[in-house]
A and B are shown apart, each in its own frame.
Chain A
């Protein structure tokens, strides 16, 4: 089955700096890669996703890159703000709701 590894497990950055979270996956059939943000006391919320026919996708301060050859994808947050502090999860799926595999999460702390 699919195995998703996520690094780092914790990340502290100064407000205004950039943050990068990296994930690798094992199943070459995976073609959908969502990223979720989970704030304290809430469930995960989708913030951006990318499909395998695209190498990069950007939404304001958030971007995701995908390298299918190397089987890794990354989340980039620029100009970080305190409200970006949360746990971020990557995931990979070959399609079909029962086959989404999540990473272990990265706790991001943005220091004002």
Chain B
């Protein structure tokens, strides 16, 4: 058990739907991350939050909207997605900016 949980584990949505991914860490970490994992591509860092403040946004389309209400919770709000957004979305956390990142199991997203 990594201490980082993600819900739901699987999600199928249409291009006009609005859904949210949830991540929760029970490790007392200060930084949280969203990654996108597609087949045969490196993990892509999407967003980084440190102490609830967004510190990185790697040119992610506005149809992805992150929210970090506190240091233990991280959300990724999705709307009007495209089929190419289908991927495994991973959440991670770390104690400090250069510390080991602990990953959750991911949410497998399919956009129809």
Total of A-B residue pairs, C-beta within 8 Å: 58
Q: Which 10 pairs of residues, A with B, have the shortest CB-CB distance?
A: A43-B103, A98-B56, A102-B42, A102-B43, A97-B97, A44-B103, A98-B48, A46-B100, A43-B104, A43-B105
The interface size bin for chain B is: 20 to 34
Residue of A nearest to B48 (CB): A98
Besides the contacts A44-B103, A45-B102, what 9 more A-B pairs have beta carbons closer than 8 Å? A41-B105, A43-B103, A43-B106, A44-B43, A46-B101, A97-B50, A97-B101, A98-B45, A105-B42
Chain A contact residues: over half helix, strand or loop, or mixed?
Answer: mixed
CA A42 – CA B90 in complex, angstroms?
A: 10
Judge if B4 is at the interface, Cβ distance under 8 Å. yes
Residues from chain B with a CB closer than 8 A to the CB of A9 are: 40
A96 touches B98 (CB 8 A): yes
Query: Which chain A residues in 28-67 approach chain B with CB under 8 Å?
Result: 32, 34, 36, 41-46, 49
